[in-house]
Structure 1
């Protein structure tokens, strides 16, 4: 029987995106896929984004525009997810470009292999003119057959080149609904715990080393803004929360994660990133406050517990005494 439900829901969070929207929509116009819906969540934009969304609405077959007060990308994605109807769902970013064959190709594979999650490759594209390069180097991650989620997560993390992102993935919507997944409100880099937990519970996943997505790196990107003390503090707080979430995920799925050392390694690795951010703070007083919170909140103990090999502990040990000197200064 023919189903009127869309094959794919494309959920897009928009905040002050007027300079990117025309290019993004033009890439959507070129996609080779029938029967899909577009859900646009305007997250309190202060520019002309909402006007542009309304101008483009008639150019796509099934469009839902939701206008809300600014609550962050996680809430915007959750709102879009809640009204989606597609068999599969994706979460692209507005400052990137989707290749015409991406979703048609991925849905065909996902359907044929009955996948919960399918991941493809993409390109880093630089606004300053540097040559583009693949997000996942082919010599580190190659196309797979059908794997369990934990098998792929272990393989991907062990490559040391894996990026926790949602926009290279297509998800079976029923899989996400069954597990009650949602994006953590107010959390930057929420893709890290999201991707980890989704893969730990997925039964059938696959990776194809085919590049269908251009991820643009530019000065307007939040992830690549020039850091100052305020940004460092925000990053530290976000990653402290991420480490706590990853630890909770490891405990929740202990029967699986206890056999995947990489699940513990990634906590220690992200912990080293927190220490680097602390070291980059210019204000001595702010730095001291962050070090105090780092220890008082138990983040140091969490990182040390998850550093399972000698090299990681040696790297952490060197930094421990430096942190203590800051705290006692």
Structure 2
């Protein structure tokens, strides 16, 4: 049976979650699938769990390789894929059992190259559906403004604005599109590698179908990338930002998307400030302040902040942006220390 969909799962030290993840795939109502598990040099029991799961279903293919990072693991999955369409699932997440049948039907009916669905954020406190505002079929002319721009950043810092999480895990993508346009995950990028692939694929496809279902379950836990302290976070985000800018220049869309890239520049700084104040940051206080000094001294950030009309920004963001404009490093550190504690107490990822 030739698979219609190849589902790629990069695995690194995810043993406690693998059974739930993989069973949500083997139980798909769409039977013509292959499940490609790439064990990326795990040091826990992940390889043994993957091998046991592969023994139960001949649609599961296991690739065992030395650790090379999530981008290279996904690329290995793409090289091995034989389905006409590819999907991606992270090993600590799971999906509804009819996800790929429904998305394939939506994509086929629209004659699209990509289908995008909604997702559910799963926390200790409960589930929160995260829905995109867009619906139906997005044609080439509207993809830039309706999809790509919102993947890069929210339109403004006003309350109520939303963006689109740039994750390949909510997509079903034509493998022919990826091969035709030579789209791969950049193994040199440690953060935002998903977003880069999403933006490139969106820019190079003719039609995107939006499925209103929230099929993907994104687990937020203490060891999640989104929750953990990340060393060299700002440098790695700036590297990915530069790669994104290069992509937009190459595709001739840098000018059209300049306002969203400016917002992205600020978002990266805000995330980096919170990361410096993370409870698990082992650096001494003075080192943390020096790192914050470097963030707020960034010339591109300063130039972007000067152009923002603070009167249109919600009060909390206005405080953050004002402190950044004033380069008030100690005040920013104290603010984010309190903010992180409140966020943790409320269980927000």
Shorter chain as denominator, the TM-score bin is: 0.7 to 0.9
1:133 aligned residue: 128
| Equivalent residue for 1:211, pick from 210, 214, 238 | 214
1:26 aligned residue: 23
Counterparts in 2 of 1:17 and 1:155: CA distance versus 1, 3 Å: closer
Correspondence 1:310 to 2:309? yes
1:277 aligned residue: 275
| Equivalent residue for 2:327, pick from 314, 317, 322 | 322
Check whether the contact 1:154–1:260 (CA below 8 A) recurs between aligned residues. no
Counterparts in 2 of 1:101 and 1:274: CA distance versus 1, 3 Å: same
Q: Deviations over 1:248-268 (max 9, x none)?
A: 223223346526733442233
Structure 1 gaps, min length 5: none
Check whether the contact 1:193–1:246 (CA below 8 A) recurs between aligned residues. yes
1:178 aligned residue: 180
Correspondence 1:112 to 2:91? no
2:337 aligned residue: none
Deviates more, 1:22-31 or 1:256-265: 256-265
1:38 aligned residue: 35
Distance 2:63 2:203 in 1: 32
Deviates more, 1:92-101 or 1:203-212: 203-212
The DSSP-based 3-state class of the residue aligned with 1:25 is helix
The DSSP-based 3-state class of the residue aligned with 1:146 is strand
Distance 2:77 2:290 in 1: 38
Check whether the contact 1:10–1:89 (CA below 8 A) recurs between aligned residues. yes
2:237 aligned residue: 239
Distance 1:215 1:277 in 2: 21
Distance 1:7 1:192 in 2: 25
Q: Deviations over 1:182-229 (max 9, x none)?
A: 22225134222222232222221122221111111122323223x3xx
Aligned residues: 310
Correspondence 1:82 to 2:79? yes
Distance 2:128 2:93 in 1: 15
1:68 aligned residue: 65
Structure 2 gaps, min length 5: 156-160, 332-349
Check whether the contact 2:234–2:269 (CA below 8 A) recurs between aligned residues. no
Q: Deviations over 1:3-48 (max 9, x none)?
A: x642111111111121111111221122011321111110111122
2:260 aligned residue: 262
1:252 aligned residue: 250
The DSSP-based 3-state class of the residue aligned with 2:147 is helix
Deviates more, 1:187-196 or 1:104-113: 187-196
Counterparts in 2 of 1:41 and 1:155: CA distance versus 1, 3 Å: closer
Check whether the contact 1:27–1:99 (CA below 8 A) recurs between aligned residues. yes
Report how far residue 134 of structure 1 moved. Answer: 0.7
When the two chains are superposed, the root-mean-square deviation of aligned CA atoms in Å is: 2.9
Counterparts in 2 of 1:222 and 1:279: CA distance versus 1, 3 Å: closer
Check whether the contact 2:167–2:195 (CA below 8 A) recurs between aligned residues. yes
1:52 aligned residue: 49
2:341 aligned residue: none
